[in-house]
Amino acid sequence: MNDAPLTPPVLTARGLTKSYGPTRALAGVDLAIRPGESVAVMGPSGSGKTTLLHVLSGIIVPDAGQVTLAGADGTRHELTGLNEEHRARLRRERLGFVFQEGLLLPELTARENVAMPLMLNGAHRKAAEQTAARWLESLGLAGMGDRRPGELSGGQRQRVAIARAQAVEPDVVFADEPTGALDSDTSDAVLASLISSTVSRGRTLVVVTHDPSVAAACSRLVRVRDGRIESDTAQRPAQPASEGTVR
């Protein structure tokens, strides 16, 4: 685990608590995630996984505790000390997200969906669409850039969502049950794309999952129960299933 001399964490959480009325979603979480780690977060439904992901990524602020993001560009930000506008900018520029239902914009083509965050970050349309096309190609979607989400399969849509998350070159990619809505073969292929597109670039992945094969393909397994970390183990990542088939 964290006993060797290692690079400093990209993401550090200390003493996180978060309640919704009487429900304690996070009951004191400490976690340090280093660049290049792929962290699977598992736990029963309602144990606080999504809340943890949202706090780590600055989507919500905890009741207490701190989250610090130390980017590859050398900047350090205490997310928990920033206002919503500033957090939103950091999310857009430094973090990537893949949710269960890709959340693509239905009116835009696949290429435009991937280009959108790049343009929000200031890239010109042409450059953004070229970058988007390269990412779609590397995720096995060459030739599908002009299709709208409704013209793609569930697995293809999730690959577009992965391309969109990766295109901004984020410090950390967060995925919340990214394959939960897919059949298991498609899910394996999408997952393999997600892990390889993140880790092969030395980036960091935090993925909430119920799927043991997703967890096995990660370098670290964090188990959450009742808003706390129940166990945290380094592991040798299993080779993910083939990325080959696009369904």
Element (H, E) at 166: helix 154-167
Interface of this chain with ligand ADP, residues 5 to 24, rule: CB under 6 A:
20, 23
Segment near ligand ADP (CB under 6 A); pick from 41-49, 74-82, 85-93, 145-153: 41-49
Q: Per CB under 6 A, does 87 bind ligand ADP?
A: no
Centroid of chain to Cα 204: 8
Segment near ligand ADP (CB under 6 A); pick from 49-57, 76-84, 124-132, 209-217: 49-57
- Cβ at position 51, least distance to ligand ADP in Å: 3
Contacted by 47, from Mg ion, ligand ADP, none: CB < 5 to 8 Å by type: ligand ADP
Query: What span, in angstroms and rounded, lies between the C-alpha atoms of 241 and 73?
Result: 33
Nearest to residue 136, comparing CAs of 153, 113, 102, 117?
113
Q: Which residue has the tokens 């992901």?
A: 53
Q: Per CB under 6 A, does 38 bind ligand ADP?
A: no
Closest residue (Cβ) to Mg ion?
50
Which whole-number Å values give the CA distances from 47 to 53, 78, 224, in the listed order? 12, 25, 6
Strand pairing category for 23-33 and 11-20: antiparallel
Applying CB under 6 A, which of residues 12, 38, 47, 209 lies at the interface with ligand ADP? Answer: 47
Interface of this chain with Mg ion, residues 36 to 65, rule: CB under 5 A:
49-50
Cβ proximity to ligand ADP: between 49 and 111 the closer is 49
Segment near ligand ADP (CB under 6 A); pick from 40-48, 77-85, 100-108, 156-164: 40-48
Q: Find the distance separating the first CA and the last CA of the chain, reported in whole Å.
A: 36
